[in-house]
Structure 1
């Protein structure tokens, strides 16, 4: 692994707990922290990174959510033996953060990937997956849904299609770019609301439900063309991901609040 992973954290555009979690994630994925190994105690990590124990605690929650560690009561936080697909997805996500990835790179990949996912989903979907697709569309119709709710429902729709394609490699690649896709959908849904996305989802769903792979592919392509139009309406500065896989514009707004709550200090 390249780069210095010790010493004080000093990247103001990223939350401190996220920075600590990123470093520990890399150590786990690179094999520096092996399965069954306990993380150093909170006071030791707080001293190493120059942050409070509260920040370390929050970083640990991020690692738990990723499935990289688990808490053993009375013993500490231990590194899990992850499923191979989890390891690959996490490693790929970390590598993406080191590259200059833009929303346009993501859009091009989605056209290549998701058009075929939709086509395969039409051939392989199960009744349970059709039900999940319907539920995600109903969630987007909820007039009380927040932007985060809309993004969650949108991601559930697209991820269910990836599972329905019945190709573990396609699902794995989709998982690896989930963070980037969330940022993209947060930007575009924030601009146009759910109605435009819903129209695309309804057309894709109808083709998938009918088992029409050709139309499913075409409807997904049309859906992604609408995404392209939304992206074209944005300044170039809004279409660059930060190191956490978010729009730089959104990250700048979020960091102002985070600076107040995550300022480094000693307990």
Structure 2
């Protein structure tokens, strides 16, 4: 990678994101063992030459990634989640290999319709209830974050992590309902490869944007909870068709970064996150 390109890529990432990535690499490398406390907030601020607000944002990202547990009044401790660590290691390896958002998107296009169909075929009553619960949690999180960020025009890194954590919980419930041990094991690290996509709102209000997202998610949830594999597969396939401009934007965006798509949301055939 040429130095100019490397510098340009760094400028697109916030200090909190850069700090979270650096701490992620240190945790994955075993610098801190499971259960060990990270340095204090003032110590990290001094070490990275950033404000304590940046440290707090980076810590929230690490919590959302499942790498640390923030305990009020005690500190921030490294978790023992090997799957979360594997997901972050996979993301870092893909970034070093020059992978793009499109690589993740294309993988999902091939895999998710079959996951949806198998979940529809095999989900138990308890798993259907869990899928519905996770969907409502995602909708509530998406609506809250969208409402808070609408006038700003973009999400903060911490807000993106909140939405993506709820997204991973929902899709993790889909994977678990397949009753396939490999899918269930790989769901968390695979879902950690996904980053939000930024579409133009095209004059939409926040309420319209939220309703649009709910319709797309509920189409999948209803197909699975109806236990209709053919419908679930077809819904999955119909939601993975993207216009050429969206594909081009994803091909130009490194994996893990937010792809900015120069189209109004009305041109979208698939989901936003």
Distance apart, 1:14 and its partner CA: 1.2
SS at match of 1:64: helix
Distance apart, 1:167 and its partner CA: 2.6
Q: Using the alignment, how far apart are the partners of 1:141 and 1:36 within structure 2? A: 33
Summarize deviations over 1:162-213 as a string: whole Å, max 9, x none: 22112343244443343554514x53988995549836853x4454334343
* Counterpart residue number, 2:92: 94
Based on CA coordinates, which of the two structures has the bigger radius of gyration?
1
* Counterpart residue number, 2:239: 223
The answer as to 2:227 corresponding to 1:211 is: yes
Q: Using the alignment, how far apart are the partners of 2:250 and 2:127 within structure 1? A: 34
Distance apart, 1:77 and its partner CA: 3.0
Q: Using the alignment, how far apart are the partners of 1:74 and 1:223 within structure 2? A: 45
Residue 248 of structure 2 is aligned with which of 197, 222, 236? 236
RMSD: 4.0
* Counterpart residue number, 1:38: 37
Q: Using the alignment, how far apart are the partners of 2:57 and 2:178 within structure 1? A: 35
Q: Is the 8 A contact 1:147 1:189 kept in 2?
A: no
Distance apart, 1:114 and its partner CA: 0.7
SS at match of 1:67: coil
The answer as to 2:69 corresponding to 1:70 is: yes
TM value normalised by structure 2: 0.65
Show the 5 A alignment for 1:49-198: 49-71=48-70, 76-80=75-79, 82-134=80-132, 145=143, 148=146, 158-178=171-191, 180-184=193-197, 186-187=198-199, 193=209, 195=212, 198=215
Summarize deviations over 1:216-242 as a string: whole Å, max 9, x none: 323322222xxx23x424373465334
Q: Using the alignment, how far apart are the partners of 1:180 and 1:188 within structure 2? A: 23
Summarize deviations over 1:100-131 as a string: whole Å, max 9, x none: 33343222211222122112102221224334
Q: Using the alignment, how far apart are the partners of 1:83 and 1:69 within structure 2? A: 9
SS at match of 2:76: strand
Q: Using the alignment, how far apart are the partners of 1:35 and 1:216 within structure 2? A: 39
Distance 1:156 1:232, change over 3 A: farther
Q: Is the 8 A contact 2:138 2:170 kept in 1?
A: no
Distance apart, 1:25 and its partner CA: 1.1
Q: Is the 8 A contact 1:113 1:170 kept in 2?
A: no
Distance 1:163 1:113, change over 3 A: same
Q: Is the 8 A contact 1:137 1:198 kept in 2?
A: no
